[in-house]
Structure 1
Amino acid sequence: MIERTGRCLCGAVTFTLVGEPLAVRVCWCRDCQHLAANGSVNAMVPAEALVVAGPLSEYIKQADSGNVVTRQFCPACGTQLFAQSSARPQFRMVRIGNLDDPSSLRPGMNIWAASAPGWACLDPALERVEQQPAPPPIHRSA
């Protein structure tokens, strides 16, 4: 089984992803733009595939999709780490830039592309979804 590790900027929070993500996406929603000053690359994983060590703080806000999103970050350095939507509590979003090897995953889709600024460099090879896509199916191995 593939495991990937990551951490916040100061190292107070570490995490392990167990298995492959269900999707890796560049998100251009306005909230992600505020958090990253650009699009944000996120992996969608089953909640049980994310193992976290260290303290987390939370910020809860209603997103443009209408869902309530809980964002988790390191209370010491402020690094944005994870998110979870009320519409899909079985999934967690992990910010790929916090992986020890962020090149180990590649995005396959731009989401909320309608919100991207005019100067955004959206890879034309990636699928483009104007707003919120449907969640990918979970494939469980027997």
Structure 2
Amino acid sequence: MKGSCNCKSVSFSCGQEIRAIVNCHCNLCRKMNGASFSTYVVVAENELVLESSSLTSFKVSEHATKHFCHLCGTPIYNTNPKLPGLAILHLGAIDSDIEIQPAMNTYCESQLGWVNQIKDLHSFEKGLA
């Protein structure tokens, strides 16, 4: 599995063993990533190889440190001291196709009310413009 940031200053590779794919609906992830929820791919931290790196780290809470490109701001992965040995990759940073789907939603108490209705929205193959 390979990934990178938007400006290609950060690139990484990782073994194929995915521990879990998780949608997180907590308020912190929503704020931290500017999205209605975040999808993460959980892998063993010792299998994450940073091949080129312009990473900056920021401790966003006692439970999460966010590692992101200091040039373009793309989030790459998080670490959590309560989950030692794991890297929580941001799905959007992964360039490889991932065949499996998320296995769970977490922090559903914070989930935005309309998220379950996404499948019912008008969908377009490309943007509107």
Give the match for residue 38 of structure 1. Answer: 36
Q: Would the alpha carbon gap of residues 94 and 122 (structure 1) be closer, same or farther in structure 2, given more than 3 Å must change? A: farther
Where does residue 60 of structure 1 map in the other structure?
59
Instruction: Report the AA paired with residue 24 of structure 2.
Output: C
Cα displacement string for residues 87-110 of structure 1 (whole angstroms, at most 9, x for unaligned residues)? 122111001111113443421111
Q: Which runs of 5+ in 1 are unaligned?
A: 124-142
CA distance in 1, matches of 2:15, 2:117: 29
Q: What's the TM-score, normalizing by structure 2?
A: 0.82
The yes-or-no answer on 1:15 pairing with 2:12 is yes
Amino acid at match of 2:55: L
**RMSD between superposed Cα atoms in Å:** 1.7
* Distance in structure 1 (CA, Å) of the matches to 2:11 and 2:117: 30
- 1:93–1:74 CA distance, 2 compared to 1 (3 A): same
Q: Does the residue aligned with 2:14 lie in a helix, a strand or coil?
A: strand
Q: Which amino acid is 1:52 matched to?
A: L
Distance, in Å, in 1 between the alignment partners of 2:89 and 2:15 is 12
The code of the aligned residue for 1:58 comes to: S
For 1:121, what is the secondary structure of its paired residue?
A: helix
Deviation at 1:59, TM superposition (A): 1.0
Gaps of 5+ in 2: 119-129
CA contact (8 A) 1:96 1:102 kept: no
Q: Which amino acid aligns with 1:37?
A: A
Matches of 1:16 and 1:41, distance apart in 2: 18
Change (3 A) 1:122 1:99: farther
Q: Which has the higher contact order (CA 8 A, sep 6+)?
A: 2
Matched residue, 1:81: 76
Q: Distance in 1 between matches of 2:76 and 2:117?
A: 23
Match of 1:130 in 2: none
